[in-house]
């Protein structure tokens, strides 16, 4: 319980008449004996609670000061009031209504309950524009809100019910945030935004809605309904939303039966549609032409008909990963004419081969985690623009990679075929590659000229294979005149490969069978910065210290500590370790910083 206003006035009078400054003692300590008439406290400064800061312009900040009750002695002319991050449970009407000039009221992250907010509390604040009540304990939305309202944030409460006048009849209302509540269809009024025709943003994600709310305002450009229980999009639900640009419907229970070819048909401005994590079995038809980003991942999509995507002329990103697509389920003309489509994700499907009719302008193609067994001659015969191709974790065998399969991929920079069944490096890999990943295969040999002409290659990953020195063609590395990183770890090498390119900076050779290190082991790589030799068969007797002489740039030498190394190399190693430690520390600090 709090003293009522008159008691408070009485106390104030008492304080003044006695010349005592209870709470303001500190401020006035230098003139304890001043006669009362000399003190001219401006009424403005007087009316600022001591926990808060108040400006003459009416901005009052009481955020995060552990208030348990709504402050009573606020200046009447307050127009922006910050009370977020406190522990306020209720708002006495008379204390709020005094603040008749209020435009912004921030009460986020308090302990307000619906019982603590009378039905008509806010309605009388005739200029209230921004009302923030997110992160409280409201179970019902306020029944009435002033029609001056521009933005209302009620997210993260326990709201089950909205009233007709909560958001209705608000001509200025632009944005409504209601995500993370407990709204069901029955908790919404018939016409939630009646006469509020200017609402542009509605966020109602993470509630329990089964249907898309009816009569959505026509000016809407952002509608978020993810994480609900939507099963069906009623006929015409989006028919009048001609300005809608962003529609989130992911993580619902939508099936193809819950929509038809007219559901999205009128959304001519729609650029972002997310239907991921639903129960679609095929790509819906009637998608509007201006969609740029289309999320269809994590459904049960098995087929793409010839005419469902082709009308979406502006499509740039198509995300179809984690579905049940087989190559034969994709119509050869499915991507025809999608000239802007540059990113296509089809990983984690059931593709048994590269689907035909890939979009011609695709730059990033993700086909990893499928069942692809080989690459045929014409699989990539018209996708000249691919830069990044990920075919990792399929079942590709070297004998099933056609030697001309990559002939058109002159722009390909990154190729990943890790985790397949390759027994040797395939012939005909694109010459302009910068990064080639072939780890976790069964590669036992690098046949003559398979790496020829790859003068742009910077990183080559061949770890977890079965390579022996003798099965690598002589001169293989020398051709890679730009190579900086070579990962040959976990193979069956018995020596450090010779003829490594001069540009090499990092050489990973750990977990091989290297037994000796000759003094010329790193002769050809004066720029090397990191050598990793742990878990080989080296002994103090078989390691020639002189192998490391002259490697001025060496920062990391990772080798078992029992190997006796000269002072020089030991010193190098120490430095390296120190640097690593420092880096680790830095990383840790960074991590901490993030937290």
Ligand X SMILES: *[C@@H]1O[C@H](CO)[C@@H](O)[C@H](O)[C@H]1NC(C)=O
Q: How far is the CB of 387 from ligand X (least distance, A)?
A: 11
Classify 504 in phi/psi space as left (phi over 0), alpha (psi -120 to 50) or beta: beta
Residue 57 engages ligand X in binding (rule: CB under 6 A): no
# of chain residues touching ligand X (CB under 6 A): 23
Segment interacting with ligand X, rule: CB under 6 A, options 134-142, 240-248, 257-265, 476-484: 257-265
- Are 225 and 204 spatial neighbours (Cβ–Cβ below 8 Å)? yes
Residue 368 engages ligand X in binding (rule: CB under 6 A): yes
Please select the residue that binds ligand X; options are 28, 191, 314, 494, rule is CB under 6 A: 191
Residue 392 engages ligand X in binding (rule: CB under 6 A): yes
Q: The tokens 């007087």 sit on which residue? A: 46
Q: How far is the CB of 369 from ligand X (least distance, A)?
A: 7
Residue 416 engages ligand X in binding (rule: CB under 6 A): yes
DSSP 188-201: S-TTTTTT-TT--E
Nearer to ligand X, 190 or 588 (CB): 190
- Are 346 and 321 spatial neighbours (Cβ–Cβ below 8 Å)? yes
Residue 363 engages ligand X in binding (rule: CB under 6 A): no
Under rule CB under 6 A, which residues in 261-280 are in contact with ligand X? Answer: 261-262, 265
Residue 190 engages ligand X in binding (rule: CB under 6 A): yes
Residue 194 engages ligand X in binding (rule: CB under 6 A): yes
Q: How far is the CB of 188 from ligand X (least distance, A)?
A: 12
Please select the residue that binds ligand X; options are 299, 323, 390, 511, rule is CB under 6 A: 390
- Are 468 and 493 spatial neighbours (Cβ–Cβ below 8 Å)? yes
Please select the residue that binds ligand X; options are 378, 434, 442, 459, rule is CB under 6 A: 378
**Assigned token pair, 443:** 């590669």
Nearer to ligand X, 337 or 526 (CB): 337
**Assigned token pair, 574:** 């120490």
Measured in residues, the chain has a length of 595
Count of CB atoms within 10 A of residue 151's CB? Answer: 17
Segment interacting with ligand X, rule: CB under 6 A, options 45-53, 149-157, 190-198, 464-472: 190-198
Nearer to ligand X, 88 or 457 (CB): 457
Cα–Cα distance, 411 to 402 (Å, whole number): 19
**HSE of 67 in the Cβ direction (CA atoms, 13 Å)?**
27
Under rule CB under 6 A, which residues in 99-138 are in contact with ligand X? Answer: 100-101, 126-127
Segment interacting with ligand X, rule: CB under 6 A, options 50-58, 186-194, 232-240, 497-505: 186-194
Q: How far is the CB of 160 from ligand X (least distance, A)?
A: 20
Residue 437 engages ligand X in binding (rule: CB under 6 A): yes
Q: State the Cα torsion 464-374-343-418 to the nearest 10°.
A: 0
Cα–Cα distance, 322 to 48 (Å, whole number): 58
Residue 381 engages ligand X in binding (rule: CB under 6 A): yes
- Cα 61 to the center of its chain, rounded Å: 32
- Are 383 and 407 spatial neighbours (Cβ–Cβ below 8 Å)? no
For 585, counting Cβ atoms within 10 Å of its Cβ (0-12 exposed, 13-18 middle, 19+ buried), the class is exposed
Q: How far is the CB of 483 from ligand X (least distance, A)?
A: 16
Segment interacting with ligand X, rule: CB under 6 A, options 22-30, 258-266, 290-298, 422-430: 258-266
Segment interacting with ligand X, rule: CB under 6 A, options 155-163, 292-300, 375-383, 477-485: 375-383
Residue 164 engages ligand X in binding (rule: CB under 6 A): yes
Angle (CA) 247-253-258 rounded to 5° is 75
Residues whose CB falls within 8 Å of the CB of residue 585, separated by 6 or more in sequence, listed in order: none
Binding site for ligand X (CB under 6 A): 100-101, 126-127, 164, 190-191, 194-195, 261-262, 265, 286, 368, 378, 381-382, 390, 392, 414, 416, 435, 437
């Amino acid at each position: 319980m709090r003293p009522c206003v008159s008691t408070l006035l009485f106390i104030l009078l008492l304080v003044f008449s006695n010349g005592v400054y209870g709470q303001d003692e500190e401020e006035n300590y230098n003139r304890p004996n001043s006669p009362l008439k000399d003190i001219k406290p401006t009424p403005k400064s007087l009316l600022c609670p001591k926990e808060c800061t108040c400006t003459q312009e009416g901005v009052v900040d009481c955020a995060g000061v552990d208030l348990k009750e709504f402050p009573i002695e606020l200046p009447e002319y307050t127009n922006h009031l910050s009370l977020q991050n406190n522990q306020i449970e209720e708002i006495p009407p008379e204390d709020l209504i005094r603040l008749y000039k209020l435009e912004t009221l921030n009460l986020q992250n308090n302990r307000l309950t619906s019982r603590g907010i009378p039905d008509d509390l806010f309605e009388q604040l005739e200029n209230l524009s921004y009302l923030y009540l997110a992160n409280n304990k409201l179970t019902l939305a306020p029944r009435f809100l002033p029609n001056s309202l521009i933005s209302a944030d009620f997210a993260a409460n326990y709201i089950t019910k909205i009233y007709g006048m909560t958001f209705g009849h608000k001509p200025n209302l632009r944005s409504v945030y209601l995500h993370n509540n407990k709204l069901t269809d029955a908790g919404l009024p018939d016409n939630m935004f009646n006469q509020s025709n200017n609402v542009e943003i509605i966020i109602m994600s993470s509630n329990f809605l089964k249907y898309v709310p009816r009569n959505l305002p026509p000016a809407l450009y952002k509608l978020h309904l993810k994480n609900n229980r939507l099963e069906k999009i009623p006929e015409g639900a989006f028919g009048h939303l001609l300005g809608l640009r962003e529609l989130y419907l992911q993580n619902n229970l939508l099936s193809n039966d819950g929509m038809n070819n007219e559901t999205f048909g009128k959304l001519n401005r729609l650029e972002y549609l997310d239907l991921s994590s639903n129960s679609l079995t095929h790509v819906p038809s009637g998608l509007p032409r201006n969609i740029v980003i289309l999320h269809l991942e994590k459904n049960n999509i098995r087929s793409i008909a010839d005419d469902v995507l082709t009308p979406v002329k502006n499509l740039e990103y198509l995300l179809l990963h984690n579905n049940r697509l087989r190559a034969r389920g994709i119509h050869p003309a499915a991507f025809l004419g999608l000239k802007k489509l540059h990113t296509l994700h089809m990983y984690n499907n059931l593709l048994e081969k590269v689907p035909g009719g890939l979009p011609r302008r695709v730059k990033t193609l993700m086909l990893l985690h499928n069942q692809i067994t080989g690459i045929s001659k014409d699989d990539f015969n018209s996708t000249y623009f691919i830069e990044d191709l990920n075919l990792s974790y399929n079942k590709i065998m070297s004998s099933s990679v056609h030697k001309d399969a990559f002939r058109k991929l002159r722009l390909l920079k990154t190729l990943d075929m890790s985790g397949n069944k390759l027994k040797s490096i395939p012939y005909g890999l694109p010459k302009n590659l910068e990064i080639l990943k072939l780890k976790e295969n069964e590669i036992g040999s690098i046949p003559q000229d398979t790496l020829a002409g790859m003068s742009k290659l910077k990183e080559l990953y061949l770890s977890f294979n079965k390579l022996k020195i003798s099965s690598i063609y002589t001169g293989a590395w020398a051709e890679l005149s730009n190579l900086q990183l070579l990962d040959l770890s976990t193979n069956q090498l018995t020596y450090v490969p010779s003829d490594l390119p001069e540009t090499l900076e990092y050489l990973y050779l750990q977990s091989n069978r290297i037994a000796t290190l000759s003094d010329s082991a790193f002769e050809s790589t004066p720029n090397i910065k990191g050598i990793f030799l742990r878990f080989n068969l080296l002994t103090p007797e078989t390691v020639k210290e002189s192998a490391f002489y002259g490697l001025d740039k060496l920062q990391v030498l990772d080798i078992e500590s029992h190997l006796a190394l000269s002072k020089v190399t030991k010193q190098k190693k120490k430095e390296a370790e120190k640097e690593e430690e420092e880096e680790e520390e830095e990383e840790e600090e960074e991590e901490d910083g993030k937290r």
